[in-house]
Amino acid sequence: MSKLTKWSKTIDENSLTLLLRYVGEFGALASLISLETGDYPLPRSDIDAVWQLRMHGAVYGIALAYCCDDLGDPVSLGNRPIFSEDYKSLLATDKCTVWACDLNSASYETLMWNIGEFGFRALAQNKNRYAIPKFPEYPAHDWSMRISLFNIVRIFETCIQKLYK
């Protein structure tokens, strides 16, 4: 298990549902922008700042997970469903989580890795506040995308605190 996915072992069902909801909110906006522009929204980054490039790559991975693009390695993780039928039924009741019903183990592991990558970098860059990227090219969606990412980091931080207590 990667250090970037170990945090996900401490997540409870309510927090996971919220996390998937915020991924869905962010992913829906990123997909809308992709349909309009042909590209997923990426924040501006300093090409020499490796932490920014990795953080923004993780944001891109989170957006792709929503689109159900299979980002994982199906050979190593398999293509089996990750959630129970009862939990899938719960996810199907919310338009912001229905996308996650059919996540397979490979896609889920990749999503958790991207959230870990993003979360660690968001927490490490600023001691007082989370380092959440801005999307100035998309002023109509900037605030909504940023608040979704902020809430993803809040849930991630709670899981990290549980892990290291």
Pair 156, 138: CB distance under 8 Å: no
According to DSSP, the residues that pair with 81 across neighbouring strands are: 104
Can you tell me the distance from the alpha carbon of 57 to that of 73, in angstroms, rounded to the nearest whole number? 18
Domain parsing of the chain, residue ranges: 6-163
Within 10 A of 85 (CB to CB), how many other CB atoms are there? Answer: 8
Place of tokens 């915020």: 22
Can you tell me the distance from the alpha carbon of 88 to that of 58, in angstroms, rounded to the nearest whole number? 25
Pair 148, 33: CB distance under 8 Å: no
User: Is the pLDDT assigned to residue 35 strictly greater than 50?
Assistant: yes
Model pLDDT, residue 131? 83
User: Is the pLDDT assigned to residue 83 strictly greater than 50?
Assistant: yes
Sign of CA pseudo-dihedral 75, 21, 17, 151:
positive
Higher pLDDT, 111 or 49: 111
Summary mean pLDDT of the chain: 87
Task: Return the beta strands (E) in the chain as ranges.
Answer: none
